[in-house]
Chains A and B, each alone.
Chain A
Amino acid sequence: MIEKILSKDELSSWLKDLGKSFEVYGPVAQGDQHLFAPLSEYDPDFTFQNTRLSPKGLVQPASERMFHFSVDPENPEAHILKEEPPKTQSCIVAGIRPCDARAYDLARINFITSDYIDPFWKQGRDRLTLMGLGCNQPCSTCFCTSVGGGPFDTAGLDLLMTDVGEGYLIRSCNEKGEGLLQKAPGKTATEKEQKQADQIKREAEAAITAKISTENLKDQPLMDLFNAPFWDEVQFACINCGTCTFFCPTCWCFDIQDEVHGNEGIRMRNWDSCMFPLFTLHGTGHNPRAEKVQRVRQRFMHKMKYYVDKYGNGVACVGCGRCVQFCPVNIDIRRVAQLMNDYKA
């Protein structure tokens, strides 16, 4: 592990330098929100609390081309699906929050299994180097510490930056990060600076007061939770929009669509949401989740029970708090988790 101190100017010149061999993404202010955008086009703003949309789109874009094809009867290769060229450009995501980085690890279990490797997700993820930025001031809705993460958690990261006021203390989290950091400008961090960073980390962890309880979830009988009476109350306010699922860094569901224009077509996949009735609509017209209560239950059961049981990897939530902040009707996953965790049939 190496630790270096870079002044803010040194960081920005380093990022520029990295831009010669990588596509560098960073948090960019747009209107009243931040989002991850290429720094070749925008200036980063590292003073954000959290980006409105998580960076999951860098690995699994909202709309992603998978194949293209021709429907031209004259074309001997008509109707043959051809893969889009692989994404090979290496990218650095500078300023990714530790929770969002961890979200990739939670989703990896779904996309990369012993039976099948999703090539699109894998390409998207493998090309990323994650240069995290610890959260000096977590939001009031952050609860990463109770779902296995933390404001300075290094689990999913290659590098971790700590804002120490006049600059950043950057720490390598693995060999990949170390290789990069060796070539970075700045000085090796002194013991005093390391201590300062540790102090910031401790303070941030202490500042996270929001919590969820998950310890009973794995032992709760699945059908008890499924049939629990509280879903009726939980679902009432829900308007079945896709805000929670689209904002969630760990929601990975997609819908495959073909579009044909003229003689050319593409097959793409788009983010989908279990909140939408179309999500489960069968070709027969039957819809196993026709009612709102079923859809709302699905979202929480998936995150807090099915995922827990299937992978033994904790809950499918990194505690970023986006769904809590932006649900238009204030359905709060912390409250629902509590109901599920405490439930006794």
Chain B
Amino acid sequence: MVEYTKKIQETAKRLLTEKKVDAVIGYRRGTLPMMNEPVLIKEAEKTDQLYWDSFCGVNLANYLPKRKEKLAIVAKGCDSRNIIIDIQEGQIKREQLYIIGAPCTGMVDRRKVWTRLGGKEPFAVEESKDQIVATGNAFKETLALADLLQDNCLICQHRNPVLYDELIAEALPEQKEVDPYEDVRAVEAMDAEARWQYFEELTRTCIRCYACRNACPLCYCPTCFVDESKPQWLGKSLDPTDVRTFHFLRAFHCAGRCTDCGACERACPVGIKVRQFTKKLNRDVLDLYQFESGLVLEGRPPLDVYRPDDPENFIK
């Protein structure tokens, strides 16, 4: 996808020159391999900073809530779905946005690259078409992008932006033959004790940095429940019950809203698979209410509406 870079720069330059927008939100090339930094560009002369490759996993919709100016924003499929949610939830207005859609072949999980390289540190990673070349101290390895994608990208069914003002590349065929909830079913097949232990192990290394929460475009509450003190819902230490409460409630706040963009899991500095919480909810929302979040501007999210005949076989 590196070839998008030029097109993004041109589009941004044009929009800023023609004063269609006040600023452009995109990525600029990171200071280390496999990382790019979200950036706000206000001047046409600076649009050459904009960059694109398969390491643009940060969800840019995270930078929209409460902004006042007119913005262009580069959006992958998932980002565009979160933009829809931001609009639906009153965090930004459609008229404020010019969405530069980027059909996405999937973002690379740098942890998978590290694993493939067996602990050798890459000093440079260059992408070309469907592979990356990682070079480091006395090694040079070529790896196929398809083997390195984030777990959520492997099962993504909305690679093309669903809302945009302009597409910078031809729409891609969607991945139809994926089974998004295999892992959810695997956990469901366990007995309660095994499930408890599974999540206990999953969150064991949590340091409560809240990167998962803060990377999430859905998390914009002025005061998060973890910071509430009257009452204090959970303690502040690394006590496992508190850690579990945090992860549970963080996920539950995303119920019916999560687009499985993977920003949470990508951001986790200790590699916790936090999507194991949200995916269960996504699957249930789909099964029970036939709803996938962020696909259409019209309508309300599933927990903001009801049907008289909603399933209630769990109620006595």
B269 touches A326 (CB 8 A): yes
A78 part of interface (Cβ distance < 8 Å): no
Please name 22 pairs of A and B residues whose Cβ atoms are closer than 8 Å in the assembled complex, sorted by A: A31-B205, A33-B270, A33-B271, A52-B270, A53-B270, A63-B239, A140-B121, A236-B63, A237-B39, A239-B214, A241-B209, A243-B267, A243-B269, A246-B207, A247-B269, A270-B238, A276-B210, A278-B227, A325-B32, A328-B58, A328-B267, A329-B38
A19 part of interface (Cβ distance < 8 Å): no
B269 touches A137 (CB 8 A): no
A240 touches B214 (CB 8 A): yes
**Given A140-B121, A259-B235, A273-B209, A239–B31 Cβ distance below 8 Å?**
no
A330 touches B63 (CB 8 A): no
Complex contacts, A74 vs chain B, CB 8 Å: none
Complex contacts, B238 vs chain A, CB 8 Å: 62-63, 270
A190 part of interface (Cβ distance < 8 Å): no
Complex contacts, A246 vs chain B, CB 8 Å: 207, 209
Q: Which residue of A lies closest to B267 (CB)?
A: A328
Q: Which residue of A lies closest to B37 (CB)?
A: A330
A329 touches B37 (CB 8 A): yes
B197 part of interface (Cβ distance < 8 Å): no
A239 touches B237 (CB 8 A): no
Give the 4 A-B CB pairs with smallest separation, nearest first: A63-B237, A328-B267, A241-B211, A242-B209
**Given A63-B237, A237-B39, A330-B30, A32–B114 Cβ distance below 8 Å?**
yes
B102 part of interface (Cβ distance < 8 Å): no
A330 touches B31 (CB 8 A): yes
A255 part of interface (Cβ distance < 8 Å): yes
How many A-B residue pairs have C-beta atoms within 8 angstroms? Tell me.
110
**Given A242-B210, A247-B269, A324-B32, A270–B236 Cβ distance below 8 Å?**
yes
Partner of B237, one of A53, A137, A257, A329: A257
- Determine chain B's interface SS by DSSP, over half rule: loop
**Given A49-B121, A137-B137, A330-B31, A241–B236 Cβ distance below 8 Å?**
no
A334 part of interface (Cβ distance < 8 Å): yes
Distance to closest chain A CB from B214 (angstroms):
4
A56 CA to B249 CA, complexed, in Å: 29
B62 part of interface (Cβ distance < 8 Å): yes
A335 part of interface (Cβ distance < 8 Å): yes
B237 touches A62 (CB 8 A): yes
B32 touches A330 (CB 8 A): yes
**Given A140-B32, A236-B38, A328-B266, A257–B211 Cβ distance below 8 Å?**
no
Complex contacts, B137 vs chain A, CB 8 Å: 137, 207
Complex contacts, A326 vs chain B, CB 8 Å: 269
Complex contacts, A324 vs chain B, CB 8 Å: 31-32
Complex contacts, A33 vs chain B, CB 8 Å: 205, 270-271
A329 CA to B35 CA, complexed, in Å: 7
Distance to closest chain B CB from A335 (angstroms):
6
Partner of A140, one of B63, B123, B207: B123
Distance to closest chain A CB from B129 (angstroms):
24
A243 CA to B272 CA, complexed, in Å: 14
Complex contacts, B223 vs chain A, CB 8 Å: 277
B269 touches A328 (CB 8 A): yes
B215 touches A32 (CB 8 A): no
The contact string, 1 if C-beta is below 8 Å from chain A, for chain B 235-273, is 111110000000000000000000000000011011100
The contact string, 1 if C-beta is below 8 Å from chain A, for chain B 168-188, is 000000000000000000000
Complex contacts, B153 vs chain A, CB 8 Å: none
Complex contacts, A247 vs chain B, CB 8 Å: 269
Distance to closest chain A CB from B74 (angstroms):
14
B208 part of interface (Cβ distance < 8 Å): yes
Complex contacts, B31 vs chain A, CB 8 Å: 324, 330, 332, 334-335
Complex contacts, A123 vs chain B, CB 8 Å: none
Complex contacts, B40 vs chain A, CB 8 Å: 233, 236
B209 touches A239 (CB 8 A): no
A305 CA to B198 CA, complexed, in Å: 45
B115 part of interface (Cβ distance < 8 Å): yes
A327 CA to B208 CA, complexed, in Å: 15
A257 touches B32 (CB 8 A): no
**Given A33-B271, A140-B123, A277-B227, A236–B237 Cβ distance below 8 Å?**
no
Complex contacts, A259 vs chain B, CB 8 Å: 235, 237
The contact string, 1 if C-beta is below 8 Å from chain A, for chain B 38-67, is 111000000000000000001000110000
Within B1-50, which residues are at the interface with A (CB < 8 Å)? 30-33, 35-40
A53 CA to B236 CA, complexed, in Å: 19
A328 touches B215 (CB 8 A): yes
A339 part of interface (Cβ distance < 8 Å): no
Distance to closest chain B CB from A258 (angstroms):
10
Complex contacts, A242 vs chain B, CB 8 Å: 207-211
A67 CA to B36 CA, complexed, in Å: 45
The contact string, 1 if C-beta is below 8 Å from chain A, for chain B 198-229, is 00000001011111011100000001000100
Within A140-166, which residues are at the interface with B (CB < 8 Å)? 140-141
Distance to closest chain A CB from B64 (angstroms):
12
Complex contacts, A236 vs chain B, CB 8 Å: 38-40, 63
B140 part of interface (Cβ distance < 8 Å): no
Distance to closest chain A CB from B79 (angstroms):
14
